[in-house]
Structure 1
């Protein structure tokens, strides 16, 4: 009948309104949270789109929050700077390195400096972590922290920020090494190699070199790069990122190249792309077994003949370092090592004559 209201109509209408209001109360905080997260990721150098897995925000004006701007000035200018990228929360690795190969300040009469490179901590307890890092920095004066989010997909940013620091803060050093925090480094052998008269002082980068390395096209791989990010199916030669050494003329040149070469998340590949742009090829080390990305079984003789090798943990590194400092047996070089060194000297002599 016209003008009459169906029984329950008013109740149904109110129910629908209540449900709509309830959904709004649920969805609005979620939408606001997503906006905040996307803004945070954009601010700290992470592309929130799926393509973040292969493109990163570099070049970008990142800034140092913790810095040691004077550690390379004047009489303190080191011959060699060891740069260790490490997660903000990985205090254990930093302490072990400080107590082992990182404590060698003068080697073969040449100054050596160890610095740890960090991004911003993420997750719960960020403010507490940051305060702890400030305290650690005041105690040890060896932390460099920049304002990007410290994550696997920002390793390229971390490496480029390292090069920025070396170029601006430490241009008068002779060499630098980028070395992961889970490595054993024989600093004596490293300095000995770099101080050799046939070691180049310019356009020099060495380590374990990857040549003719195929591009990963499997989207499930963490090293995946699609064709639009890297059209070729073979990477240019590059030094593997766990450990490499370079002359201090290169950071500025690589940074200049980065203005023309779009950054991808695979940091060692990206450094190789920049080197290709400026026409610099990695140099073979004097022996192929000086740098190892494998965990080698410890013996005093084997570790006395290498420069860097991966370890299986900080506890092991501490233990083997204590043994490594003890007087060891006389270790004759292997025939393979002698042969490679002889071939390297012969090749270097030919290059100088030409």
Structure 2
């Protein structure tokens, strides 16, 4: 017998990007295949893209990517377990949000690609009697390739079901003052014990093809607004705190300035001490722990930099958990509790 919505508890589904099931080439290939088949991620014609993806990329990239995952699989140490860092941290975030929301809400996590899948998480919520589900994508800034893709993933998970839950969906939270405060406090907390002061603080966001923004994606403007709000909050100048974009892929022009090229160039300009934070990532992952903390640091030092530090993502910091719980209560669960 179907549950009366008034008699059921609402569910909160916290969704992040995802990771392979293990740092092996086979699991990484399976994960990349799902990720890179998403038209919101790669909008090239399938007639052009699929032969490239299956004939070249999925034959060559999984081994290298698996090695990168292996190098950071058990980091950060404060989140123990044998899953990828992103998943372990998301579980910790969900536990913190569940504690703040109490027994009136059922909280589950899902990954847009890989496991635990969106469909399986919805099943778990339905098994717990949730006929109303609020979806919280863990992306502060909206992008078609991230937040909108979560929307697609939820729709695909429900498309063959006869009984669909009532849904609510969070779009962004890049300009919430509590998010900006959490970022500022994380910077101060990380820099305070260092015996040196950075010449600049670089906010590095995941890149996006320039063509996506040209078509109307608001991601770039929301990233730049995040950095501007953070700059104002901390009383920094544009020379002391600025934005760059990392993780570009393929031959297209991506959002600039590029993080790696900037880090290679600034030592020659007298900027020898750098702190990098990644405000677009709600949890540390391959792009923060390996691409920035390892690869970018090595490149910066090879080009003359002397001091480099990576500021961890907000992860399960208390202010971050407070923010996520408040967002859920105010913008998703209002009237359901």
Superposed pair shares fold, TM > 0.5:
no
Structure showing greater relative contact order (alpha-carbon pairs closer than 8 Å, 6 or more residues apart) = 2
Larger Cα-atom Rg: 1
Larger helix proportion, structure 1 or 2?
Answer: 2
TM-score band (shorter)?
under 0.3
| TM-score (normalised: structure 2) | 0.24
